[in-house]
């Protein structure tokens, strides 16, 4: 039996590649893809998600719109990384055949989790606003969800928006805190510590056999790779969100440590930083499974074999 999955995205170049990985893996029954304001507006993230499903010829997968702003803060778009449209211009002229489905993402999450108690895996690759809204409305979902995996934060290393903060946590730190404090039995963070190691290179792209998908990955990541080189002096770009999907597919790709983590929300320099109590100085109960190492070659082997299947 396939595992039931809700994928929450702010599509986004790497979200799009994460969607491709999740859909093409055929390992999940995808109950729905929920969208959130993040890299781009809610409208653009939703439209991009529909375009990616059209590219995959999988337009029957429901797409449900969620929050159009962070819980308390203003939007903070990432056009510099993802382009004006969010997909680096790759599907600009693609026909918009699929429309989003009815409903509101947090309600969709609640209903799905309660209807299939103990069966639903949530993978979140954008700011955590939708899940936070679901938790506010129905806190008991924590006892009914199978597991939650999110891409966000960095534990040991620099941020990618500010010197200390990673984008998804930075955009909606109040939401991230609600998720961390909710009491999930299985909450896994896939942060920059590991995603920065999963660098997609020209060589990986050349190994994608399907012409349309190769062209999409090549075009959508072209500027992203250029920018990554300018900033980091490495050829490639980080597959942040696809790695979160990959962890849902195979936990053995990473090693994890359990820590107590919290989010800084009122600091001039460290706002939106995920703070991890590695040395247990606060004496609090652990709340987060943190990915600490990743098998990069195995990840790309899996990625390419799924995309080429």
Contacts with ligand BDR by CB under 6 A lie at 12, 14-15, 39, 78, 81, 125-126, 151, 160, 166-168, 240-241
14 noted as active-site residue? no
Of the residues 4, 5, 7, 15, which one makes contact with Ca ion according to CB under 5 A: 15
Pick the closer one to Ca ion by CB: 100 or 152. Answer: 152
CA nearest to 123, candidates 9, 31, 25: 9
Pick the closer one to Ca ion by CB: 15 or 264. Answer: 15
Residues 192-251 that bind Ca ion (CB under 5 A): 241
- 296-to-101, 251, 264 alpha-carbon distances in Å: 36, 13, 30
Pick the closer one to ligand BDR by CB: 39 or 44. Answer: 39
Q: Which of ligand BDR, Ca ion, none binds 289 (CB below 5-8 Å, type-dependent)?
A: none
End-to-end CA distance of the chain: 20
Q: What's the CA gap between 12 and 63, in Å, rounded?
A: 15
Q: Which of Ca ion, ligand BDR, none binds 78 (CB below 5-8 Å, type-dependent)?
A: ligand BDR
Of the residues 32, 100, 126, 153, which one makes contact with Ca ion according to CB under 5 A: 126
Q: What's the CA gap between 96 and 1, in Å, rounded?
A: 32
- 193-to-82, 98, 158, 229, 298 alpha-carbon distances in Å: 21, 36, 9, 18, 17
Catalytic residue, from 8, 10, 14, 15: name it. Answer: 10
Q: Are 35 and 42 in contact (CB under 8 A)?
A: yes
Helix (H) / strand (E) element for 82: namely: helix 79-82
Interaction between residue 62 and Ca ion (CB under 5 A)? no
Interaction between residue 172 and Ca ion (CB under 5 A)? no
Pick the closer one to Ca ion by CB: 32 or 126. Answer: 126
Q: What minimum distance in Å lies between the beta carbon of 275 and ligand BDR?
A: 17
Which structure tokens are listed for 16?
A: 């799009």
Q: Which of Ca ion, ligand BDR, none binds 193 (CB below 5-8 Å, type-dependent)?
A: none
Compute φ and ψ for 292, nearest 5 degrees. Answer: -110, -35
- What are the catalytic residues? 10
């Amino acid at each position: 039996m396939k595992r039931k999955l809700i994928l929450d995205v702010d599509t986004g170049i790497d979200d799009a590649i994460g969607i491709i990985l999740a859909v093409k893996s055929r390992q999940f029954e995808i109950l729905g893809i929920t969208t959130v304001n993040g890299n781009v507006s809610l409208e653009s993230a939703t439209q991009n998600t529909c375009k990616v499903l059209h590219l995959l010829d999988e337009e029957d997968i429901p797409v449900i719109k969620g929050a159009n702003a962070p819980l308390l803060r203003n939007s903070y778009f990432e056009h510099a990384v993802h382009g004006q449209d969010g997909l680096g211009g790759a599907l600009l002229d693609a026909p918009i055949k699929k429309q989003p489905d009815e409903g509101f993402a947090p309600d969709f999450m609640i209903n799905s989790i309660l209807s299939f108690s103990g069966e639903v895996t949530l993978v979140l690759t954008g700011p955590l606003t939708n899940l936070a809204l679901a938790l506010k409305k129905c806190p008991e979902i924590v006892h009914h969800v199978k597991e939650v995996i999110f891409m966000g934060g960095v534990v040991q290393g620099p941020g990618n928006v500010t010197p200390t903060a990673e984008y998804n946590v930075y955009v909606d730190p109040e939401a991230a805190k609600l998720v961390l404090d909710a009491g999930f039995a299985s909450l896994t963070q896939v942060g920059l510590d590991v995603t920065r190691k999963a660098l997609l290179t020209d060589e990986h792209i050349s190994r994608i056999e399907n012409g349309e998908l190769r062209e999409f990955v090549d075009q959508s990541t072209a500027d992203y790779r250029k920018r990554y080189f300018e900033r980091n002096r490495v050829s490639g770009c980080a597959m942040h969100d696809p790695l979160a999907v990959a962890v849902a597919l195979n936990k053995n790709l990473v090693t994890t440590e359990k820590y107590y983590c919290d989010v800084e929300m009122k600091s001039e320099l460290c706002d939106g930083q995920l703070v991890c109590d590695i040395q247990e100085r606060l004496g609090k109960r652990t709340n987060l499974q943190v990915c600490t190492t990743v098998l990069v070659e195995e990840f790309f082997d899996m990625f390419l074999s799924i995309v080429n299947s």
